[in-house]
Structure 1
Amino acid sequence: MNNLEETSFQIISAAGESMSDMFQALRFAKEGKFIKSEEAMKKAQELLNKAHKAQTNLIVEEAQGKKTEYSIIMVHAQDHLMNCMLAKNLINELIEIYQKGNLV
């Protein structure tokens, strides 16, 4: 396995775990367990940061002239990361609505 594949799988794994934690946070919020929800979102953010850092390292390498070949695995990893970042924003909004009592 080469560096691009390893990094791709790191992104997929971290973003996937992050997404799972975010949806767990949303379930906690729905149940009114806001402290647990916040803890799950913090863990999710740490994993999202890990995935984003791996992506950034690849971008920096390419900017420095180290070109990589097209990889469907990397496309898949980017898709996971992008969806995770979007989900974070939406889930944060939903948690805030639950906290305000508008959906409980």
Structure 2
Amino acid sequence: MDDEKRMQVVMGIIMAGGNAKAHAVEAITAAKKGDFTEAEKKLEEANQAIVDAHNTQTEMLTAEARGEHTPIDLYMVHAQDHLMTGITFVDLAKEIVEVYKKIID
């Protein structure tokens, strides 16, 4: 993978992680207002962002298994950090939405 393509992949992972986190926060905000339909919609959007990033990672892992080494640099580490933060936020948001459902309903 050339440098330009690798940077596109890295930026895609960063964006997906950031989008997942943003949608998770929106889900919590909606649940706090009692809008559980919106909260569930935002959780679905957050999950889709994680799936998109996961698919990119799977492509990279497959290429690595074929012997196409991807250099690991600060950009890649940063991308993985964003993704893991997004995953954590989504997991936490799911729990928080459920708590709000019990409190408000």
* TM superposition score normalised by structure 1: 0.91
Cα distance in 2 between the residues matched to 1:70 and 1:11: 14
Partner of 2:72: 70
Cα distance in 1 between the residues matched to 2:72 and 2:95: 35
Cα distance in 2 between the residues matched to 1:85 and 1:53: 14
- Which deviates the most, 21-30 or 64-73? 64-73
> RMSD of aligned C-alpha atoms?
1.5
- SS of corresponding position for 1:23: helix
Matched to 1:76, the amino acid is H
Partner of 1:48: 50
Cα distance in 1 between the residues matched to 2:57 and 2:18: 14
Cα distance in 2 between the residues matched to 1:8 and 1:64: 20
**Deviations 1:45-76, CA, capped at 9 Å, x for gaps:** 11111111111111111111101222211110
Identity %: 32
The runs of 5 or more residues in structure 1 that have no matched partner are none
Q: Which aligned pairs between 1:3-18 and structure 2 lie closer than 5 A?
A: 3-18=5-20
How many residues align? The count is 103
The runs of 5 or more residues in structure 2 that have no matched partner are none
- SS of corresponding position for 1:100: helix
Matched to 2:25, the amino acid is F
Cα distance in 1 between the residues matched to 2:55 and 2:62: 10
2:81 aligned to which of 57, 64, 79: 79
Partner of 1:100: 102
* TM superposition score normalised by structure 2: 0.91
Which runs of at least 4 in structure 1 moved beyond 2 Å after TM superposition?
Answer: none
